[in-house]
Amino acid sequence: MRLFNKLFKKILQPYIGLDKQIYFIFISKTVNAMGALVFPFLTLLLSKKIGLSVSQTGVFITVSGVIYAFASMFGGKITDKFGRKKIIIIFEVLAIFCYIACMFIQPSMPMAYLLLLAGAFFGIAGPAHDAMIADLTTVENRQAAYSLTYLGFNLGFAFAQMFAGFLFENYLYMMFLIDGITALLSIFVIGIFVKETIQKDDEVKETNELEAKVSGSIFKVLLSRPILIYFALAAFGYKFAYSQWSFMMPMHAEYNFPDQGAKLYGLLGTFNAVIVVFGTPIITYLTIKKSNIKRVFYAGIMFTFGFGLLGFISVKAAFFASVFIFTLGEILEAISTMPFIMNHTPSTHRGRISSVIPIIMGAGYAIGPLVMGKILEVTTFAYSWIIVGLVALVATMLMKMLEKYDARKSALEE
């Protein structure tokens, strides 16, 4: 027992000593995710409840991704201008109104459009969350802070997914109500316990040379730091593959196990979240000395095998095995991507960079359902998963090349 306690303390060590506001952000993320019921089931809502075809569902999700991207760009701009906290509160409250409105209408295209609008509002608020965490951290503890908030989200998400699949079939309105209430509570935590973190020029703390304040547009910043663009392009394939977790996975489950697909997908969601909850602190501790880009490379290997597996075997056990493998990759990617980006970003441009770079990466997530929806119309799920695995493999190879490029560049600068 003493050995276990010692090991437990070691695993949690990276999370100790963070700014106290990070812990309240962790609580906010956890509460919000406890009601994250709707968007994980968007594919089934569009196809099973509203009646869109596979191709139409893919197009709709891609359109929602494009709208989210433009909303995020706008959010990044106003986040750097007006602050983090007020942007989060204003636009997430607007998203909550959309959820509440969905309670009173039947599954239909108007409901889909309201969810599209809610996604746009969340997109505007997204960069403010990332910039706020970056403001409260340094290079030394940034990975731990992002890891902790990611852990908080999945802690709540695991709880939500335990009953989401059962609510989906007969109590859809309850999903919107719960989602709205928990989102409101999470905003309350931010509003009361987290101060505005944006810093004036004379207050900016330069924790490394790359974070030093600069003047000029975001394009000037990106041209002076091309590694950010290279990284985003390599991560494009990761997001393409990961988008199939919410697109192909639920449809494949429903195809293989008619009328049980939603429940199976809900269980897979819970399984995914449980792995994240227990795996995030362990993986963070075990890889704390690895570079961010090295961990992202490892993530690509997990994505390749995890998603590609279903191209060869798709019994229920294979679904769980697939989720286990790619979730390890999800953890590695999630705790490393934003720290890598923020460590290469001027403190004056955190909001804009945390919107534009994820947009390039997220383009893979946006077009993934569109492309695979078209492919599924002419081939089987098995061949489609093999294609997804190959995309992840190519992206992983590109990330390895970028790791070597980054190492050479760092050696030349020393």
| H or E stretch covering 52 | none
* Cβ atoms within 10 Å of 314's Cβ, excluding its own: 18
Domain boundaries 19-197+216-413, corresponding CATH code:
1.20.1250.20
Query: pLDDT by residue (tens digit) across 3-32?
Result: 666 666 777 888 888 999 999 999 999 999
pLDDT at 318: 92
Burial of 286 (0-12, 13-18, 19+ CB in 10 A): exposed
Query: pLDDT by residue (tens digit) across 215-224?
Result: 666 677 777 7
Residue 324 has pLDDT above 80, yes or no: yes
pLDDT at 209: 59
The mean per-residue pLDDT over the stretch 378-383 comes to 90
**Where do the structural domains in the chain lie, given as residue ranges?**
19-197+216-413
Weakest-pLDDT range from 258-262, 326-330, 397-401: 258-262
pLDDT at 258: 81
Residue 231 has pLDDT above 70, yes or no: yes
d(C-alpha 249, C-alpha 64), whole Å: 19
pLDDT at 410: 63
pLDDT at 120: 93
The mean per-residue pLDDT over the stretch 174-187 comes to 92
pLDDT at 338: 85
Residue 306 has pLDDT above 60, yes or no: yes
Distance separating the N- and C-terminal Cα atoms of the chain: 46
d(C-alpha 40, C-alpha 190), whole Å: 24
d(C-alpha 361, C-alpha 23), whole Å: 28
CB 33 within 8 Å of CB 25: no
| Percent of the chain whose pLDDT exceeds 90 | 36
The mean per-residue pLDDT over the stretch 31-48 comes to 83
pLDDT at 303: 97
Rg (CA), the chain: 20
Residue 414 has pLDDT above 70, yes or no: no
Which region, left, alpha or beta, applies to residue 359 given φ > 0 means left and ψ of -120 to 50 means alpha? alpha
Query: pLDDT by residue (tens digit) across 61-120?
Result: 878 888 888 898 899 889 988 889 999 999 999 999 999 999 999 989 999 999 999 999
Q: What letter represents residue 107's amino acid?
A: P
The mean per-residue pLDDT over the stretch 290-294 comes to 88
Residue 214 has pLDDT above 70, yes or no: no
CB 276 within 8 Å of CB 156: no
CB 342 within 8 Å of CB 134: yes
CB 71 within 8 Å of CB 79: no
Query: pLDDT by residue (tens digit) across 103-162?
Result: 999 989 999 999 999 999 999 998 899 889 988 988 788 888 888 998 888 888 877 877
Q: Which of 101, 39, 99 is nearest to 68 (CA)?
A: 39
pLDDT at 211: 54
Average pLDDT score, the chain: 85
SS3 36: coil
Residue 192 has pLDDT above 90, yes or no: yes
Q: Which of 178, 69, 175 is nearest to 126 (CA)?
A: 69
